[in-house]
Amino acid sequence: MNKAFIKLDEEFDFMRLRNDVITVYNNIKRDATDNMYVDLVTRNISLTARQPDSDDWTDGVAGKTFVNQSHSDNSIGLKTQLGLSNDNEMLKETEYVYPINQVKGTYIEELINKYDFVCRWRISILPPRTTLSIHVDGSPLMNTLQGGGAVMDWRLHFPIQTNNRCFLVNWPSNFGTPKDTGEEVTTNMANFKSGNAYLLNTSMMHCATNYSTSERIHLIASCDTSVVKNFSVR
């Protein structure tokens, strides 16, 4: 499946979800130190952990290197090929399935249990007037280096707080490295609306941008191509 964006036909209570996501976000923001919040490790709050009964919302967020479930842990050879230092921890996304204590008893936990075929749930905050760099997740190169197996190359998105100036942007797969080719490049842009759920193919070159003056907040989880069929599509 090579579509970049898929709008889903999933039933969920958006107001309950929005209230719980904003409450968890505000509680963690209040309890975090200034330095932790400035980082929020690139403005992400992890909602699932690698073990039960965890309070750690910093584990499982962006800024770490995630590998597929078939890869053996912390291979120095792989780190060398990826240009990583030996102290860079390599983690399996599929291990992040236990709701952290801060979401116990919330509607977020209900969704985590409902969609038990996805993993590494997090709140993603894109600050005002911010654009992420162009990147891919779960690329064929990464999969080859990691020894094959399922790669978490799709993201499940629940837009919580957004507006008509927030976009997901997708580039052609042959976009390649930055250079002046003298050719025009066409992009695809999607404005994900709150109250809906979407899938984003992150094995294709993409980025997120927020041209507005308010935060964009999404609830996001990871999954691989084999489970895309489990969702209802519009």
Q: Could you tell me the residue ranges of all domains in the chain?
A: 5-175+186-224
Task: Give dist(CA 142, CA 105) in Å, integer.
Answer: 37
The model's pLDDT over 162-215, given as tens digits with 9 standing for 90+, comes to 999 999 999 876 666 667 777 778 889 999 999 999 999 988 889 999 999 999
Determine what percent of the chain is predicted with pLDDT higher than 90: 52
Q: What is the pLDDT of residue 74?
A: 46
What pLDDT shows up at residue 42?
53
Cα 104 to Cα 98: distance, rounded to the nearest angstrom: 10
In the DSSP assignment, the letter for residue 110 is H
C-alpha–C-alpha distance, residues 213 and 130, integer Å: 10
Task: Please write the tens of the pLDDT for every residue from 75-115.
Answer: 545 444 444 444 555 678 889 999 999 999 999 999 999 99
pLDDT at 76: 47
5-175+186-224 classified as CATH 2.60.120.10: yes
Point out which residues pair with 91 in neighbouring strands.
66
Enumerate the H helices of 123-172 as residue ranges: 140-145
